[in-house]
């Protein structure tokens, strides 16, 4: 879902969106949002009032659960897609997608799920940036390269920090399974847009992950509407 105020921030959970509202828009004079919990139509002009509403009215809702938004997101995409233009659109039932979140799910699986969710969020950010700013593919490539360089520098700093902390604790960095691979330059963490680095990869990613098969023109229309589904 996208921020209802700035329309440039995207989140996979209500909790993350609430954090954004508190940090970025808490003092906005024109603050106005509708509750993001599916089925709730309450609107708020103050972020603290909205926060209290979530805590009191929706205390049974896991605000950190990405699945909470799945039903409404599927409905949003259905409302925005206009079949009258003759565009072939293939939909999958995202609302009833069976996602295993049992207590037996191990930490590795949870991290993998988060990684896949981040890939979807990164894809939407990149594509939305291109369309909202009318960027050429060359300009978008520059954003990909520049952002990737920044991410790699940050990952390298984090790696050095981890090494220092482990050394202080008398633990050999290389002796910890998986750490070297995690911080490697070729790892997905250091390459946030590798899955959507080209125009063809972008189209393929949306078709595979969002269940949309559309023409180029309609694809741009969807992006300009800032539609996001899981």
Map out the domains of the chain as residue ranges. 1-64, 67-224
Please name the residues in contact with 21: beta carbons below 8 A apart, sequence gap of 6 or more.
3, 5, 33, 47, 50
Q: What is the DSSP letter of 13?
A: S
Distance CA 27, CA 47 (A): 9
Q: How many CB atoms lie under 10 A from the CB of residue 176?
A: 12
Map residue 146 onto helix, strand or coil: helix
Map residue 196 onto helix, strand or coil: helix
Residuewise pLDDT in 10s, the chain (230 residues): 788 998 777 777 898 889 889 988 988 888 999 999 988 989 999 999 999 999 999 999 988 876 566 444 444 444 444 443 443 333 333 333 444 444 444 555 566 677 778 888 888 888 778 777 888 888 888 888 899 999 999 999 999 999 999 999 999 999 999 899 989 989 988 999 999 888 888 888 877 876 655 444 444 444 444 444 44
Q: Which of 51, 99, 92 is nearest to 73 (CA)?
A: 92
Q: What is the CATH number of domain 1-64?
A: 3.30.160
Query: pTM value?
Result: 0.49
């Amino acid at each position: 879902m996208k921020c209802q105020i700035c329309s440039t921030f995207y989140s996979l959970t209500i909790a993350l969106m609430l954090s954004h509202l508190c940090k970025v828009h808490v003092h906005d004079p024109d603050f106005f949002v509708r509750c993001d919990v599916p089925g709730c139509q309450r609107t708020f002009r103050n972020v603290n009032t909205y926060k209290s509403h979530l805590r009191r009215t929706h205390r049974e809702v896991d605000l950190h659960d990405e699945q909470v938004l799945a039903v409404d997101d599927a409905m949003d995409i259905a409302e925005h897609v206009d079949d009258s233009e003759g565009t072939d659109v293939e939909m999958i039932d995202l609302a009833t997608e069976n996602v295993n979140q049992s207590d037996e799910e191990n930490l590795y699986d949870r991290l993998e799920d988060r990684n896949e969710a981040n890939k979807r969020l990164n894809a939407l950010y990149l594509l939305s940036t291109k369309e909202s700013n009318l960027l050429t593919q060359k300009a978008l490539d520059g954003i990909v390269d520049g952002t990737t360089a920044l991410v790699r520098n940050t990952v390298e700093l984090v790696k050095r920090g981890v090494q220092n902390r482990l050394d202080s604790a008398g633990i050999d960095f290389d002796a910890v399974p998986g750490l070297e691979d995690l911080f490697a330059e070729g790892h997905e963490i250091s390459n946030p847009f590798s899955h959507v680095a080209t125009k063809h990869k972008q189209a393929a990613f949306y078709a595979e992950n969002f269940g949309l098969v559309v023409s180029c023109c309609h694809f741009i229309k969807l992006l300009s509407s800032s539609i996001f589904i899981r």
